[in-house]
Structure 1
Amino acid sequence: MSAWTESDLTTIGDATELQATSRRKDGSLRNYVTIWGVRVGDDIFVRSAYGADNPWFRRAVTAGAGRVRAGGVERDVTFIRVGPDSSTHSDIDAAYHTKYDRYGPQIVGSVVGEHATEVTLRLDPHIS
């Protein structure tokens, strides 16, 4: 069950962009990067548009924890890799298409399809 509030899900899900950062080993936060994210049900997902070698993605996977902010919401999160065999990927693709198709197929194509399954992260909020 998601620990996101409905308000947070709506705000983050409706935001065109979100900013994400990972934690360093000493617990401090790295610089934020701007990325696209989508809401699917009670979850928020992000994907690396430039593959698994993208520095923010590598750092997020390695750290496992960080923070996101969008639309005035800021939350500490855990980055959870979504396996390529997850049935959720088609719903994530559909959410990206619905939200971002207006930017054109080349841009949206960087975060949808089979190649995007290996670079999908679910953002789980830390419960305070």
Structure 2
Amino acid sequence: MSWDEHDAAVFAASEEITIETMRADGSFRPPVPIWVVVVDGDVYVRSSHGRDSGWFRGALTRHRARVTTWAESRVVDLVEVADLDDALDEAYRDKYAAYRHSFLPRLVGAPARAAALRLEPAERSVLAR
């Protein structure tokens, strides 16, 4: 299932979202703020700390999370991607150009490139915030 135009636009307009990866018991870990980009209508995130980040390790355990934008919360499936490094770098550089001298280099570096996920809607209904 892919995002509709409205949902993709909400992610594109969100400077930051939070992600709560799912534990084995179905509960969610505490929220972590993260930057998000949209490429060709698909929604992506990267771990700035690479694959060793706590939230990313949790993502690899269940491949399910709750994400919250400024508009709503949704449950998503998390799919690893490895073939979009250049496109994601460009999207991060375009969207977060104001941070090019501070945080942005961490999101286009090797550790983050190895820790990229596509968010796919797991449920169409919006969760209560």
% identical equivalent positions: 35
* Paired amino acid for 1:72: A
**Which residue in the other structure is 2:7 paired with?**
8
- Is the counterpart of residue 98 in structure 1 residue 94 in structure 2? yes
1:105 and 1:121 map into 2 onto residues whose CA distance is 24
1:51 and 1:117 map into 2 onto residues whose CA distance is 8
2:41 and 2:109 map into 1 onto residues whose CA distance is 22
Q: 5+ unaligned residues in a row in structure 2: which ranges? A: 125-129
> 1:11-47 CA distances to partner (integer Å, 9 max, x unpaired)?
1111000010111111111111101010101111100
Decide whether the 8 Å contact of 1:20 with 1:34 is kept in 2: yes
1:113 and 1:30 map into 2 onto residues whose CA distance is 26
> 1:80-107 CA distances to partner (integer Å, 9 max, x unpaired)?
1112xx1x22111111001112013341
2:72 and 2:91 map into 1 onto residues whose CA distance is 20
* Paired amino acid for 2:114: E
**Which residue in the other structure is 2:119 paired with?**
123
Q: 5+ unaligned residues in a row in structure 1: which ranges? A: none
Deviation at 1:73, TM superposition (A): 2.5
> 1:39-62 CA distances to partner (integer Å, 9 max, x unpaired)?
101111100111111101111111
* Paired amino acid for 1:92: L
TM-score, scaled relative to structure 2: 0.88
1:104 and 1:3 map into 2 onto residues whose CA distance is 30
Decide whether the 8 Å contact of 2:46 with 2:116 is kept in 1: yes
Decide whether the 8 Å contact of 1:12 with 1:73 is kept in 2: no
- Is the counterpart of residue 74 in structure 1 residue 70 in structure 2? no
Decide whether the 8 Å contact of 2:39 with 2:88 is kept in 1: yes
2:109 and 2:48 map into 1 onto residues whose CA distance is 11
1:4 and 1:67 map into 2 onto residues whose CA distance is 15
Corresponding pairs, count: 124
